[in-house]
Amino acid sequence: MMKTEQEKENILIMSGNYAAAWGAKCSNVNVISAYPITPQTTVVEKLSDFVDNKELDAKYIRVESEHSVMAALVGSSMTGARSFSATSGQGLLYMAEMLHWVSSSRLPIVTTIASRGIAPPWNIWADYTDILSIRDCGWIIQFASTHQEIFDSILMAYKIAENPEVSLPYFVVYSGFSQSHTSKPVSIPEQQRINKFLPILPEDGWGHLNLNPDKPVTFGNLVMPEQEYLDFRFMIHDSMVKSKKNIHDTINLFNQSFGRDYGGLVEKYMCDDAEVILISYGGLAEQSKDAVDKLRDQGNKVGLFKLRYIRPFPNEELIELFNSGIKVIGVVDQGTAFGNPTGGPISTEVMSLLNHTKNRIDVLPCIWGIGGRNVSVDDQIGLFEKLLYIKNNNEYPTDETCQHGTVWMGLKTGI
Amino acid sequence: MKTSDKQPAAQQPYKSWKELPHVPVSYPQLGSIGATGEWRTFKPEINAEACNKCGMCYLYCPDGVISYKEGTLPEIDYMFCKGCGICASICPKKAIEMVKEKE
């Protein structure tokens, strides 16, 4: 698309973390609260620079823990301030209680997660177990699998979260180090154009909850079993499911405004005539495109179905996929859910929708990249070959990395 | 604002979740368990001459029963002051004395 002089974008080489900091800066956030944790730290360091250099007019609140970070943002967001933070791994888990306070207060806080492994043993490398452990706390969860997508997603996140019909907090998630600390070009549109895209902050705070000393209210008081506690819980789920429409609208508007199309809740790559599909998310899912290309060159009908969102869950898109004539799917988690049906949280959720199709589909769950373990394109091709084996031989592979029905890619088996 | 200022009364029970706001919020009104000032054993009394009108007591009062405007003497709403003594403890001029209530 030809861009006019006014539409020209400033292309900077930056790390994934700096892309997140730039995303927050360009979203004109009012309040940042932060506590450092690897691999997220350079996000909030960069934001601290922006504030210190007066490039960003925001209040920067340093606190003593991640729990306090989110508590501070609960307070700031309740006054109608656009609020931002970033965290990783243990820090996210330490925030867990306040994450529920945010979603149950329906506050549109945006937080970026540079995902890492959970201790012990200590591990700071790419692994989504941190975000997947808190996937049910009422936050929208979106994976960004390129640096540009990290930046763009934060702008869209505020647009979606602050919509009064949605009023839910929003996580933008990317992987530690492989995304957070690698550098790539990121296009930054002119601020005036971003300002036109961003939602307008209401002068009197959010319609449902606004802390104002002149109009005192009590929030978070006790609600008895026969009062509306159950109903308020349902409404969080209801708004989350209905936010899908708003997400689609926002992605379309973003495409119209900046010429980058993120498609929807999922990204389909070579899925149209595919018989074998890999379903995954995050940075490694982006890499799967190379594996698909190589296998397509050899005449294999394979495709990639990348989940951009897991909350809300893309039910409709998955059911459409199941009814499209595919024979075999592999579902890959870069995270663990010990003791659940597959050992991986998202593969279990994807499989829970299989009763919506009458087609017979074989499913091979897989877990890869745990604790930053390298997954090469060849490793991904190896997984596709297992799926092709299932399609061609009508039986599941039996090698020793396949444990309890799930492939643990790279499991040391002594061979 | 004094706690005795009227605010919208509690809503009638909701029939459907569709009528509910995003979150439950309650407005200050006369306490549903009555005049909690009756619980008081010690009564805070402000010494107007010693008071420097800094407003610390207003900021620290956990029940929000002290009203204050900058440069004026704070006022305590004894209908709801439970007599916890935090105002007396925080007062930098020691201008608040906790006086034992009589029978």
Q: What pLDDT does residue A216 have?
A: 86
Distance CA A159, CA A173 (A): 17
- Evaluate whether residue B84 is within a structural domain: yes
Cβ within 8 Å, pair A208-B17:
no
Q: Kindly give, in sequence order, each residue whose CB lies less than 8 Å from that of residue A282, ignoring residues fewer than 6 positions away.
A: A115, A128, A143, A145, A173, A174, A175, A334
Mean local confidence (pLDDT), B69-93: 96
**What are the C-alpha distances in Å from B87 to residues A213, A395, B61?**
20, 76, 6
Range of the domain at B78: 32-100
Q: What are the phi and psi torsion angles at A97 (to 5°)? A: -60, -45
Q: What are the phi and psi torsion angles at B83 (to 5°)? A: 80, 35
The CATH code belonging to domain A266-408 is: 3.40.50.920
Query: What confidence tier does B77 reach under pLDDT thresholds 50, 70, 90?
Result: very high
Look at residues A269, A268, A322 and name the one whose alpha carbon lies nearest to residue A292. A269
**What are the C-alpha distances in Å from B13 to residues A227, B10, B17, B20?**
8, 9, 11, 10
| CB contact at 8 A, A300 and A381 | no
What is the pLDDT tens value at each position of chain A, 415 positions in all?
Answer: 555 555 678 999 999 999 999 999 999 999 999 999 999 999 999 999 999 999 999 999 999 999 999 999 999 999 999 999 999 999 999 999 999 999 999 999 999 999 999 999 999 999 999 999 999 999 999 999 999 999 999 999 999 999 999 999 999 999 999 999 999 999 999 999 999 999 999 999 999 999 998 888 888 888 889 989 999 999 999 999 999 999 999 999 999 999 999 999 999 999 999 999 999 999 999 999 999 999 999 999 999 999 999 999 999 999 999 999 999 999 999 999 999 999 999 999 999 999 999 999 999 999 999 999 999 999 999 999 999 999 999 999 988 999 999 999 999 998 6
The CATH H-level superfamily of A6-258 is Thiamin diphosphate (ThDP)-binding fold, Pyr/PP domains (3.40.50.970)
Q: Which residues of B touch A216 (CB under 8 A)?
A: 1, 27-28, 64
**Interface membership of A122 toward B (CB under 8 Å):** no
Outline where chain B has alpha helix (H): 56-60, 86-90
What three-state secondary structure class fits B43? strand
Q: What pLDDT does residue A140 have?
A: 98
**pLDDT at B4 exceeding the cut of 50:** no
Domain count, chain B: 1
**pLDDT at B102 exceeding the cut of 90:** no
**What are the C-alpha distances in Å from A3 to residues A6, A8, A143, A196, A258?**
8, 6, 28, 17, 10
**Interface membership of B6 toward A (CB under 8 Å):** no
- Evaluate whether residue B13 is within a structural domain: no
Domain CATH code at residue B76: 3.30.70.20
Query: What confidence tier does B32 reach under pLDDT thresholds 50, 70, 90?
Result: low
Q: What pLDDT does residue A247 have?
A: 98
**pLDDT at B7 exceeding the cut of 70:** no
- Chain B residue nearest residue A210, CA to CA: B25
**What are the C-alpha distances in Å from A370 to residues A5, A305, A398?**
45, 20, 21
Distance CA A172, CA A387 (A): 30
Q: What are the phi and psi torsion angles at A253 (to 5°)? A: -65, -40
- Chain B residue nearest residue A223, CA to CA: B24
Q: What is the mean pLDDT of chain B?
A: 87
- Same topology for domains A6-258 and A266-408, yes or no? yes
| CB contact at 8 A, A184 and A174 | no
Distance CA A392, CA A398 (A): 15
Question: For B25, which of A209, A214, A231 is closest by C-beta distance?
Answer: A209
Category of A371 on φ-ψ map: left (φ > 0), alpha (ψ -120 to 50) or beta: left
A positions 167-226 inside 8 Å of B (CB): 167, 208-209, 214, 216-219, 221, 223
Query: Could you tell me the residue ranges of all domains in chain A?
Result: 6-258, 266-408
| CB contact at 8 A, A348 and A135 | no
**Interface membership of A106 toward B (CB under 8 Å):** yes
